[in-house]
Amino acid sequence: MLQQSAFIKTNLKSSAYSYSYKDILRTLQALFNTINMDDALPKVEQRAQYTLYLIDGATHNWHNLVPADLIALARQNNVVIFNVERKAICEKNLLLNHVNGVFYKSTPSEEVFKGLVKINAGELWFTRMILSQAFSDILVATSSFNSLHEGIELKQDDYQHLTKRERSVIHLIAQGASNSVIADKLNISDHTVKTHLYSAFKKTSSRNRIELANWAQRYISVLLPMSKQ
């Protein structure tokens, strides 16, 4: 029998005894041989051992922007977001970035069970409307593949003109980091962060940090190396 294991990335502000966690854990215990929980993801080289990743979305706001590290995880693994508020995420964005499903704080326990069973069987857990919208977006993207490819080549040129520090700033922006967090990680001042940010705006033809983050996430698998966790 194939051994299946699940990993729950917890949120330090959530309680493992909450209603959301109890529903998830009860179902996982029936479906998986092993369940591990931690507030940090496993190292990249260890991630293949888990059949499913459940990411606690409490306190996060991923409505306009899905963090780059979450996108990278979902590209290679089955990922589910849970314990999240409806206003804090955009289901279509998650679906288009390879996430397998979402369970809200308000999702009934029977729906959690049904959804996890479906996901474990290889299905997606999104509403029919969201699936339809995402499929339409994919068709549009596919029909314009040639122009998209040309765009990637142009962005490659833009990337070559970015300094090493600008690339670091863009990478952190793509992961949802604020200016103060970037300043702390790179050991620079907030003013210097803004300088690099404005320069990156100009070089990538972005009007704001959301557009810059979307630019980075669109080309990140081609241009920007993901940091190992």
Distances 56 to 6, 18, 43, 71, 178 between C-alpha atoms, Å: 13, 12, 18, 15, 20
Q: Is the pLDDT of residue 65 over 50?
A: yes
Query: Of the ranges 24-28, 54-58, 155-159, 199-203, which one carries the lowest mean pLDDT score?
Result: 155-159
Q: Considering only CA atoms, which of 135, 21, 137 is closest in space to residue 84?
A: 21
Q: Which residues of 146-168 are buried (b: 16+ CB within 10 A; e: fewer)?
A: eeeeeeeeebeebbeebeebbbb
Q: What are phi and psi of 221, to 5 degrees?
A: -70, -20
Q: What pLDDT score was predicted for residue 224? A: 44
* 8 Å CB contact between 174 and 167: no
Phi-psi region of 71 (alpha: psi -120 to 50; beta: other; left: phi over 0): alpha
- 115-163: pLDDT as tens digits: 999 998 889 999 888 888 777 766 655 554 344 444 444 345 556 778 8
Range in 11-20, 52-61, 99-108 the model is least confident about? 11-20
Please provide the size of the chain in residues: 229
* CA dist., res. 12 & res. 87, Å (int): 21
CA distances from 162 to 61, 159, 176 (A): 29, 5, 20
pLDDT-based confidence at residue 225 (cuts at 50, 70, 90): very low
pLDDT at 81 over 90: yes
pLDDT of residue 93: 86
Report the chain's C-alpha Rg in angstroms: 19
SS3 163: coil
Mean pLDDT throughout 55-78?
Answer: 88
The DSSP bridge pattern shows strands 79-84 and 52-56 to be: parallel
